[in-house]
Structure 1
Amino acid sequence: MSALLEVRGLTVGYGGAPVLRDVDLDVPAGSIVALVGANGAGKTTLLRTLSALVPLTRGSVRLAGQDLAGVSVEDRVRRGLAHVPEGRGVVAELTVDENLRLGGLWRGPDRRAAVAEVYELFEPLARRRDNPGHQLSGGERQMLALGRALVARPTVLLLDEPSLGLAPRVVAQIMGVLRSLADRTGLTVLLAEQNVVGALSVADHGVVLGLGEVVASRPAHELAADDRLRHAYLGF
């Protein structure tokens, strides 16, 4: 399986202090890759760098074989890269429907169908389509943030800590939707999570970050079964 998203030698620092060092990462088309590690390992910085929100010091990022050097945040989205940051960010004053349509502004006539697909995936959003964002529960806001990214019809979805602060039932629903989308539509997902068990349960492959470096990269089921890695880097 070819890599749709390729990262080579990625090094990133803040104020001269390195946060990521020589990170190599492949995300094959149609797969879910779980990026796991302790808090502060560099997971969020990696996703933000892939989205051009943080500049890289050296290294390269390629999407579908094309180098993304110098490509803006907006153009990366147009090329198929969507990023759902940590924190369930939605526009609180806008309704659910308005938030979703906002995610597909540049798609034109295709936007209506994409919004309808999100309502099929997340039935709670369909029931609350006319409610403003500030009236939603935490789980509903996470569904809305994810749905807004999906309306853009991405080929690669970068998802940062979607389970943070959510009930296990909601986490299971979100993880199930990701697995279903990867299997049915070929969506490619890079999932950064501290919920290691949940992430590895739906992922095809796992990458462990430790202090800004890749310390392991293996099939997800192998990582979950490795007692040494689990105790040293994953906390379970």
Structure 2
Amino acid sequence: MTPALAVHGLTTGYGGAPVLHDVTLEVRPGALVALVGANGAGKTTLLRAASGLLPLAAGAVALAGDDLQGVGVEDRARRGLAHVPEGRGVVVELTVDENLQLGGLTAHRSAGARRAAVEEVYGLFPSLDRRRAALGHQLSGGERQMLAIGRALVARPRVLLLDEPSLGLAPQVVAQIMALLRARCDDGLAVLLAEQNVAAALSVADRGVVLDLGRVVASRPARDLAHDEALRHAYLGF
């Protein structure tokens, strides 16, 4: 099976200083891969490079077998690569419904198809359904995170890159978001989840990739990583 997302030999960084070194990983359709590691390990850098926000010094990124070299951020989104960065980036001056409508514009679908996709997201997040007319700045942190994820899902992507969705959220909200991601993967979505809440991420992931100082130090089934006490203590802090 062709990977939904393939990263091979990726080296990149900022201002000429490498942050990632020869990173290779794959995410298959319907799989959730947890990208875990300490602060500064390179998780956010990897997602930024995969989405086209950061140029590569070496290596390649492919979406469904197609090399993305020279493909810009917007074109990657149109091809089915969605990126939800850390910080719950919603447009706080717009309503929930307007934010979700924005997500559908990327996919170049008809107004009717976009509306159907928005309604599907409301079905996934009942708390957003109840607050359709609320402005972004009126939402709780958990609602903003749900809105950011929902806006990405409206475009019906092949691959979802998700950066630290649990940051600052209550445990019950984290559990809800993780369960939703697992359910979307079971429906065929491929997810690369960068997350410091390692236990939560590994509990729903198929596979875990551990980064340390910009290098892959382990890539195994998530259950194996969760039960490897030596590795957990050395790299994951739990």
Q: Do both proteins adopt the same fold according to a TM-score greater than 0.5, normalized to the shorter chain?
A: yes
The one of 201, 209, 217 aligned to 2:211 = 209
CA-CA distance at 1:194 after TM superposition:
0.3
Query: Does the CA-based 8 Å contact 2:142-2:173 persist in structure 1?
Result: yes
Query: Within 5 Å, which residues of 2 pair with 1:42-191?
Result: 42-105=42-105, 106-108=108-110, 109-183=112-186, 185-191=187-193
CA-CA distance at 1:110 after TM superposition:
1.2
SS, match of residue 30 in structure 2? coil
CA-CA distance at 1:144 after TM superposition:
0.2
In structure 2, what is the Cα distance between the partners aligned to 1:112 and 1:13? 39
CA-CA distance at 1:13 after TM superposition:
2.0
In structure 2, what is the Cα distance between the partners aligned to 1:26 and 1:90? 28
Tell me the matched-pair count.
235
Look up the equivalent residue of 1:192 and give its one-letter code.
A
Query: Does the CA-based 8 Å contact 2:2-2:65 persist in structure 1?
Result: no
Instruction: Please name the residue that 1:219 is paired with.
Output: 221
Structure 2 gaps of 5+ residues are none
SS, match of residue 59 in structure 1? strand
Structure 1 gaps of 5+ residues are none
In structure 2, what is the Cα distance between the partners aligned to 1:141 and 1:152? 18
> Alignment RMSD, CA only?
0.7
Q: TM-score, normalised by structure 1?
A: 0.98
Corresponding position: 1:35 with 2:35: yes
In structure 2, what is the Cα distance between the partners aligned to 1:53 and 1:228? 35
In structure 2, what is the Cα distance between the partners aligned to 1:59 and 1:182? 27
CA-CA distance at 1:17 after TM superposition:
1.5
In structure 2, what is the Cα distance between the partners aligned to 1:28 and 1:100? 26
Look up the equivalent residue of 2:78 and give its one-letter code.
R
In structure 2, what is the Cα distance between the partners aligned to 1:16 and 1:133? 37
Query: Does the CA-based 8 Å contact 2:202-2:223 persist in structure 1?
Result: yes
SS, match of residue 7 in structure 1? strand
Look up the equivalent residue of 1:21 and give its one-letter code.
H
SS, match of residue 215 in structure 1? strand
CA-CA distance at 1:76 after TM superposition:
0.3
In structure 2, what is the Cα distance between the partners aligned to 1:46 and 1:82? 14
Look up the equivalent residue of 2:149 and give its one-letter code.
L
CA-CA distance at 1:228 after TM superposition:
1.1
Deviation string 1:23-73 (CA, Å, 9 cap, x unpaired) is 001111110000000000000000000011011101001111100000010
Structure 1 segments, 4+ long, off by >3 Å, are none
In structure 1, what is the Cα distance between the partners aligned to 2:155 and 2:119? 13
Sequence identity percentage: 75
In structure 2, what is the Cα distance between the partners aligned to 1:128 and 1:18? 43
Query: Does the CA-based 8 Å contact 2:207-2:222 persist in structure 1?
Result: yes
SS, match of residue 104 in structure 1? helix
Q: TM-score, normalised by structure 2?
A: 0.97
